[in-house]
Structure 1
């Protein structure tokens, strides 16, 4: 490879946004990806049988309150309004999620107003837990045993493969309970889906004369020679050949099936009962409600421990993983000329808008460091 300013490993949103930012600053970069396509786990494609736009690695819904990020993605494609609404099947009934006033009234067979519902939930909650030590204690303090058992316990056991008592309380703190009839899953002002899918958006970001794209290309040690800097969006532990051990992830298996017409009437149906082996069913034509399709493509999702040959989805980040993460972070910070980015590179669960924000900030920070004659740090955001 001839000399270029940067080698970027990974053609997902992180790599693409960094590449575009550097290219627009006049730099010459090469982006490689082991997969035969761009967009990483956001990859979308038309189903050959039904023409439905499929989210191949599971659904991705774009939502943000970051105005610059919203303007940025709209430079590269048309986003159509899409308000994500989730249903859950539990104990033989279908409910709205996240838990809201309708869910509470349906579950308890009541007609509560907001204040009455809040008082009722407070009465169900455990008052003897001051500082919840785990997910289950947080649920007991937050919503009590009834709603926890119906909507969170079984689903969480399936999703994470362990008892909720072994999970940190912080996971449940992100889940809202609303004492109104608002059933929109996200609260951000900007929510949407790209009209032509995420693959087209990422391809457009990478479409610049300063960017060379090489798909189906595995990174090999020493490949960065001749480049001014390496940006790594692959697994953090993978960069070091898993020398200290593997960081833990959950992965997903997808069971595809097709139907004529409409299978479930919504994009996502969660299954809260522990005796149902899958966590949810997704029906992908509902992610593009402006389109019309006679056929439908659905996927049952099964969560399990991620093996060496599986696609990593959710970082576990429990006690042992955090210890190992700290060791890998120390190794990374001892290097020069390498920056670790994105969900895998920083071992953090990131929404797409946060991924783009961090990639923009990382690339701009790199340009500023170059101008000042100072090194670019191994991480633009502390993974710990």
Structure 2
């Protein structure tokens, strides 16, 4: 039986869910408050320079999930892209993630891999079970590398001391005792040739899908649909009645230049004396193109206000307590499933977002075929 399904949000979660359910025969309406699809991975040509700009900051697709990689290639041609991040510390440029070149350059040595491994290990703290970002860093790389490459950047990014942040944030970053400076270690890495927005538009291009942009969905209208998939903020669905979950947001200072301004796509600036965290030069995200001019962003993290775009869920103790209360409310909300980064209040890479949407679509269809309740979340928030 064809159902009328509402998809709130035209980002990756909403688009993939809409496509899967439309291909299964359902009628999908997708609404988004913004004037474009693709959410925070939206890309657009800069009219002055012709550069493809990652409007809400850099997005590099990377995954080990073959199904996800095959899926996105149905809708876009991906060009190979190696993410090679640089960082400026005390007037010198180093490569990230911290690797053998970084270690040798920083300490003025010429160590082989095993020598460097022993050298770093001798400087790390003996903390068997690190609980905070700072403890993890001291046990991971020691005080010198931590102070140079992690401490200041983290304080600016999160607006608090690394001693207040969970160790899990740092555990996502690699430490290499080779000269490999590829930031990611996944088998599949790339960027869609024509940008992410074109890819998402292609996913949404199905006769069973209707897209309405610049449209705000009122949760009070949920009963008008057979089911609603909500990819907006979890607390926003309930009109923030218990308070607001904490996020960090980003401000971008755009500037243009002639030629190649910094020689790489991303240059971190971890120093506490520099107010921004990094500079991205967008034409380097499409090395297959050639542009005489350049578009760059300086990136300034700060606390997210009510009218700001939420980027990074904070997920400290206070937020997790409030999150648990909202999860309890969500479990009582009829015919609604909360999806994606905002709907589940988790930091998600693009490939995980797509995988969860694919899995949720299958679970929803299975639930409908058996008459059982639809999943409440695309992924566990707690």
Under a length normalisation based on structure 1, what TM-score does the superposition of the two structures give? Answer: 0.98
* Counterpart position of 1:45: 44
CA distance in 1, matches of 2:307, 2:222: 25
- CA distance in 1: counterparts of 2:130 and 2:219, whole angstroms: 45
Helix, strand or coil at the partner of 1:36: coil
| Greater Cα offset, 366-375 or 166-175 | 166-175
Maintained 8 Å contact 2:340/2:378:
no
Alignment-derived partner of residue 170 in structure 2: 172
Tell me which residue corresponds to 2:280.
Answer: 282
1:24 matched residue in structure 2: 23
Give 1:112's aligned residue: 111
Partner of 2:135: 137
Deviations 1:81-113 (A, max 9, x none): 011110000111100000000000000000000
Aligned 8 A contact 2:363 2:375 in 1: no
1:272 Cα shift?
A: 1.4
* CA-atom RMSD in angstroms: 0.9
Indicate conservation of the 8 Å contact 2:251/2:300, yes or no: yes
- Quick one: which of 228, 238, 241 aligns to 1:240? 238
In structure 2, the partner of 1:74 is: 73
Q: Where do 1:248-263 residues align within 5 Å?
A: 248-263=246-261
Query: Whole-Å Cα distance in 1 between the matches of residues 167 and 142 of structure 2?
Result: 14
Inter-partner Cα distance in structure 2 for 1:338 and 1:22:
15
**Contact 2:258/2:294 (<8 A) preserved:** yes
* Structure 1: unaligned runs, 5 residues or longer: none
Aligned-partner Cα distance in 1 for 2:379–2:168: 20
Contact 2:277/2:300 (8 A) holds in 1: yes
1:189-268 pair list within 5 angstroms: 189-268=187-266
Give the count of matched residue pairs: 381
CA distance in 1, matches of 2:131, 2:254: 38
Secondary structure of 1:124's match?
coil
SS of equivalent to 1:238: helix
TM-score, structure 2 length as denominator? 0.98
Q: Is the 8 A contact 1:333 1:377 kept in 2?
A: no
Separation in structure 2 between the aligned mates of residue 187 and residue 200 of structure 1, nearest angstrom: 26
CA contact (8 A) 1:53 1:197 kept: yes
Give the distance between the partners of 1:199 and 1:189, measured in 2 at CA. Answer: 23
Question: Match of 1:374?
Answer: 372
Deviation at 1:134, TM superposition (A): 1.2
1:163 pairs with 2:161: yes
Pairwise CA distance, 1:290: 0.3
Post-superposition shift, 1:380?
Answer: 3.1
Contact 1:4 1:30 (C-alpha < 8 Å) held by counterparts: no
Q: Report the Cα offset of residue 309 of structure 1.
A: 0.4
Corresponding residue for residue 354 of structure 1: 352
Mapped to 2, the partners of 1:358 and 1:265 lie a distance apart of 36
Deviation of 1:140 after TM superposition, in Å, equals: 1.0
Displacement of 1:368: 0.5
- Distance, in Å, in 1 between the alignment partners of 2:293 and 2:121 is 45
Out of 295, 298, 301, the residue aligned to residue 299 of structure 2 is 301
Deviations 1:19-66 (A, max 9, x none): 000000011110000111100001100000000000000011001111
Q: 1:324 aligns with which of 306, 322, 326?
A: 322
Q: Secondary structure at the match of 1:103?
A: helix
Which runs of 5 or more residues in structure 2 are unaligned?
none
Distance 1:324 1:337 in 2: 23
1:54 aligns with 2:53: yes
- Matched residue of 2:226: which SS? strand
Q: Please point out which of 270, 273, 297 is paired with 1:272.
A: 270
* Structure 2 counterpart of 1:98: 97
Distance 1:379 1:282 in 2: 34
Aligned-partner Cα distance in 2 for 1:221–1:273: 44
Q: Is the 8 A contact 1:52 1:284 kept in 2?
A: yes
